[in-house]
Amino acid sequence: MPAAETAPRGIQDMMFNVFMARALYAVTSLGIPDLLSDRPLSCRTLADKTGVRAGSLHQVLRAVASTDVLRTVPSPESGDGEEKGDRNEPAYALTPVGETLCTGHPSGTRDMVLTLQGPIWDALTVLPQRLTTERTGTELALGLPWFDYLRQRPDRGAAFDRMMIAVHGAEPAAVARAYDFSWARHVTDIGGGVGTLLLAVLREHPHLSGVLFDLPEGAEHAREYIQASGMADRCVTESGSFFDTVPPGSDAYLLSHILHNCDEDACVRILRSCAAAMSPHSRLLVVEMVLPAGDEPHPGKVLDLAMVTLTTGRERTAQEYADLLARAGLRLRKVVPTDSAVSVLEAVLETGPIPETGSVPGTGPVPGTA
């Protein structure tokens, strides 16, 4: 008999990494990082405080301690009467990485773990069924489209917002540095959330003023955030739906992480609203991960799995964005890379200024740019 072949190492790694992700979720959802924030505790004490079985918890904590989240230390002396277990039983302490899993940590890491391994995991488990129907993973697993689910569960919505800040925290500054706004005087951020990107742009380019445009509830939250940032003299909010209309009169329009949530028809509808507000000298700046045309790895390809699970949207190549823009009467001028995973796709009205000569990396010439 020939020697048995083993599964490819890369596939093994993908399959078994899920165990550690679920272990980290269990530890975080039980609140163990918060319990360890003051001092190390034994497994038995942690089990008593969380209402779980000490033996099973030990197996989970031992695995997590093999990462840079927890570390084992000698069982501490306890002066408050708490059960500390056998002197030979190790205790667990947080590392600096583990501290990011505590409630309220500014990195938002706890919210990322609880969201990705909570409702998003629930939706991901039905991915095979998702591929057979027009219903999204959240509709199948949670009964609602993703953003409706977040609106009906404000606690989950707030955690998702904090996760987005954690995941995309470096992007706003990277976009503000990478794109040359020297030609503009006024910027409107369409669907801009609390204004993280717009405020980064205004800080980097002091000559600019801005408008944050979002749904009424979002605009109200943004107003508070902008006021607290000290930028209210340069930035105001307006409310409405970008499916219907956007404020006219800006030089630059930001559209960040909006189109990837939507199918082609919805994208075209949003882009036509933008085009209707633009002047011949305005520019639309679409901020998204731009997929390479080939098979090389890219963070956007992982994010695309979230898109197919949670939404009817998708990540796209530069050529695919150029095609969408053309359907809305817009022309892609150039793609500006940043120091983060996103790029800035600059577009003008089809009847606007003559575009720069060039092509979009990885796609060949884009219509109208050669």
Q: Active-site residue numbers?
A: 260
Residue 359, number of CB atoms within 10 A of its CB: 14
Structure tokens at 222: 């943004």
Residues 6+ apart with CB under 8 A from 178: 336, 337, 338, 339, 344
Per-residue b or e along 90-122, where b marks 16 or more CB atoms closer than 10 Å to that residue's CB: bbbbbeeebebbbeebeebbbbbbbbbbbbbbe
Burial class (CB in 10 A: 0-12, 13-18, 19+), 16: exposed
Which residues have a Cβ under 8 Å from the Cβ of 17 and sit 6 or more positions away?
none
Contact call for residues 132 and 139 (beta carbons, < 8 A)? no
Handedness of CA 341, 348, 255, 149 (dihedral sign): negative
Beta strand spans in 58-177 (E): 70-73, 91-94
- Using DSSP's 3-state secondary structure scheme, residue 246 falls into coil
Q: How far apart are CA 101 and CA 99, in angstroms?
A: 5
Q: How far apart are CA 157 and CA 163, in angstroms?
A: 10
Residue type at 225 in one-letter notation: Y
DSSP letter assigned to residue 12: H
Q: And the tokens for 172?
A: 């706003």
Contact 348, 333 (CB under 8 A): yes
Given a contact cutoff of 8 angstroms between Cβ atoms, the answer to whether 324 and 264 are in contact is yes
Instruction: Give CA–CA dist 331/62, Å, rounded.
Output: 55
Nearest-angstrom CA–CA distance, 191 and 214: 5
Burial of 221 (0-12, 13-18, 19+ CB in 10 A): middle
CB-based contact 166:111 (threshold 8 Å) = yes
